Structure 1
Amino acid sequence: MQIALTKKLAEAVGVKAAFAQENENPLFSWTANWTKVWDNRRTEDMIVLVNNATRFTVAIYQVKKKDLKNLEVMMKKAISNTLLFMNINPEIVEEYMRLAGDVELVQNRGRQTAAWVSKAGLECSFYVGREYNGIEKMFCDTVGSLINYNHVNITKTRDEGFAPYQEMINALTELTGKPAYKYRAFELSATLNLDVYKAVRRIIVPANLSFERLHNVLQTVFNWKNYHLYDFAIHQGDKYDPAIRVVPNRECLEYDENAVLMEGHTLSEFLPEYKHILYTYDMGDNWEHEIELAQVIEDYDKESPFLVEAIGQTPPEDVGGVGGYVNFREIMLDPRNPEYKEMKEWARFWTPELSDWEKRPRVIRL
């Protein structure tokens, strides 16, 4: 595997490498840069790699200068982890990494590849800025995954471009002759009881999905804005007597010392042994989503998380719980109500029914 370093990264690593070989297979060639996410940082904090054949991006955050001594190992592991994070068939990933071989660091001399990695770094920085506060110490080598769905190489119309993720999938399946996806998955049914009706979302997710990503999936399919606290309670039938409570941060442990931090835990540790999960979002409005395991799919061969079905509109944020929503909905269904205009302005784009797009089965990209 040939990885061409930008001048900045080569100087930081202290490597006087040869120039990149132009005859190297571009699928096994990457261009790497060291870039800064936060303006108030004195030095760079993210490594960005772009594949020279597909423009597939891999990014590692946070990377300090002392970490650069393990750069080759770090980058190779990040490539593998990002592909696996996006649910690409582990057999494909293993074969690609084997064929790519050991990392050879060289100097980048291509203006085009330098422009690609700079643009990818900017997009990854926007993502990191949205997801992290820049204060906490953390390390993540899959932060580049989401931008691979963005179209690149666009000159006039979107149709002229391509998504690096799809280009990489096509290249890897052609290289290995193996199916793009092959993994264990769970079909889940998530129900939000709103008294006047139930909002239901059927989704398919990888069995090894982390609780943090499950939270993000549920936020997306229920149209929440991720403004409030949440937790998961895993139970066999009685939601008020959970066997395990999973919480997002240490502050939550102050209220329940028996709870489990979600970091490092996945669904497959609890399902299918347990059949039910209660996802509570916003401890004030107390939105309780009852999640049931519908089926286990041993060899799922498609992209996921996937929204299979969406039934029933969901409430806007901060509407006041189920009781507040019932009252709000009555007002919104009656334009003659004296509170209708004020409520309409407050709710902005909310509608009583789901749009055709919201009901459409689709991949949930996080």
Structure 2
Amino acid sequence: MKEKIDCPIYQIKIILSGSKPPIWRRFLIESNENLYKLHQVTQVVMGWTNSHMHQYRQNKLYYGTPGKESESDFGFKTLDEKKYKINQVMDKPRTKIIYEYDFGDSWDHDLILEKTLTKDEKFNYPICLDGAMACPPEDCGGLGGYYNLLDIIKNPEHEEHEEMMEWLGGEFNPGEFDLESINKILKKIKTA
């Protein structure tokens, strides 16, 4: 009978680049998962809806979904994220990779390997440990558009206030972070 070998667990912190106050999450994931699984986890922990293209960047290498568009239009080759494991691109603490989501709004995220842990059987991985602030709404125009939106919705006298509140579908609390809901969704993610 083969002995089960557990892979190390990575504790990763993800920060939405340029956000002030920082929009961030900390989560645990098995280090031998592929980058596509990391993409799925990133979408859930940050609160995105997976409605746009994405890619990873590190040391002039690009990982994502390869295709004609990425190679011919942008002048670089995209490596297949399903063929690369997290531990191949993040192999020691403080290693960073950039995750870009929605090439129009260009949401850049810094993913930083904080530490390597031993697998704990009482946890189902991936799991989110902590975080702060709500994810910006999709299609709001990147970080600049998001901060403009926040200025509009906190000023009921602004000429676009009603329109933006309707676009948001009602209330939006930029300080909200719901760890329990994130972990409920993470439990549903299957191995890619």
Q: What TM-score, normalized by structure 1, do the two folds share?
A: 0.46
Equivalent position of 1:290 in the other structure: 110
Q: C-alpha displacement at 1:300, in angstroms? A: 3.5
Equivalent position of 2:95 in the other structure: 275
Q: C-alpha displacement at 1:228, in angstroms? A: 1.1
State the one-letter code of the partner of 1:287: W
Equivalent position of 1:245 in the other structure: 62
Q: C-alpha displacement at 1:349, in angstroms? A: 4.8
- Runs of 4 or more consecutive aligned structure 1 residues displaced over 6 Å after TM superposition: none
Does the C-alpha gap of structure 1 residues 349 and 208 become closer, same or farther in structure 2, counting only changes over 3 Å? Answer: farther
Mapping for residues 153-302 of structure 1, pairs under 5 Å: 182-234=6-58, 242-251=59-68, 252-254=70-72, 255-273=74-92, 275-301=95-121, 302=123
Q: Does 1:306 align with 2:124?
A: no
Q: C-alpha displacement at 1:312, in angstroms? A: 1.1
Partner SS for 1:299: coil
Q: Distance in 2 between matches of 1:321 and 1:205?
A: 27
RMSD: 2.3
Equivalent position of 1:336 in the other structure: 157
State the one-letter code of the partner of 2:10: F
Q: Distance in 1 between matches of 2:106 and 2:161?
A: 25
Mapping for residues 139-150 of structure 1, pairs under 5 Å: none
* 8 Å CA contact 2:11, 2:115 repeated in 1: yes
Q: Distance in 2 between matches of 1:194 and 1:348?
A: 26
Q: C-alpha displacement at 1:209, in angstroms? A: 1.4
Q: Does 1:319 align with 2:143?
A: no
- The number of residue pairs the alignment matches comes to 180
Mapping for residues 84-95 of structure 1, pairs under 5 Å: 91=4
State the one-letter code of the partner of 1:218: T
Q: Distance in 2 between matches of 1:227 and 1:359?
A: 22
Gaps of 5+ in 1: 1-89, 93-181, 235-241
Q: Distance in 2 between matches of 1:259 and 1:294?
A: 26
Q: C-alpha displacement at 1:227, in angstroms? A: 1.4
Q: Which has the higher contact order (CA 8 A, sep 6+)?
A: 2
CA deviations 1:208-254 (Å, max 9, x no partner) are 111111111111111111111110012xxxxxxx2422121223233
State the one-letter code of the partner of 2:38: L
Q: Distance in 1 between matches of 2:91 and 2:170?
A: 38
Does the C-alpha gap of structure 1 residues 328 and 194 become closer, same or farther in structure 2, counting only changes over 3 Å? Answer: farther
Q: C-alpha displacement at 1:334, in angstroms? A: 2.0
Percent identity for Structure 1 against Structure 2: 22
Partner SS for 1:263: helix
Does the C-alpha gap of structure 1 residues 256 and 300 become closer, same or farther in structure 2, counting only changes over 3 Å? Answer: farther
Gaps of 5+ in 2: none
Does the C-alpha gap of structure 1 residues 190 and 348 become closer, same or farther in structure 2, counting only changes over 3 Å? Answer: same
Q: Highest Rg: 1 or 2?
A: 1
Q: Distance in 1 between matches of 2:13 and 2:26?
A: 4
